[in-house]
Amino acid sequence: MDGSFAEGEAVPSVRQVAADYRVNHLTVGKAYQELVDIGLLEMRRGLGMYVTTGARTALTDNEQQRFIAEEIPAFAERADMLGLDLERVVGLLRDARSRL
């Protein structure tokens, strides 16, 4: 989502990622396969893995839906448990956002 890899750009090989982050290459391969399965990466035979066209938009849409479905309800429940007033929470969110 941060644009680290542009659409159409090759991503590092499984072995390179495994070496860089000191994780098992099978773990990286599985993660890459999941990204292929959801349409964010594509395998080009003999060339490697590439970011698909529209990947950033698709990922952003997916993350927004997850945020709305999971994180907002959990946040609202926590704020309620702490007795935080909705207007105060909104103000704090605006302040935090203005500092970004």
Phi then psi dihedrals of residue 17, to 5 deg: -65, -45
Q: For 15-40, what is each residue's pLDDT tens digit?
A: 999 999 999 999 999 999 999 999 99
Residue 1, pLDDT > 90, answer no
The rounded distance, in Å, linking the Cα atoms of 96 and 31 is 33
Domain spans in the chain, listed from the N-terminal domain onward: 14-53, 56-98
What is the average pLDDT value for the chain, to the nearest integer? 95
The crossing angle, in degrees rounded to 10, of helices 14-21 and 25-37 is 130
14-53 to CATH, choices 3.90.550.10, 1.20.120.530, 1.10.10.10, 1.10.1060.10: 1.10.10.10
Residue 41 and residue 51 in contact, taking contact as beta carbons nearer than 8 Å: yes
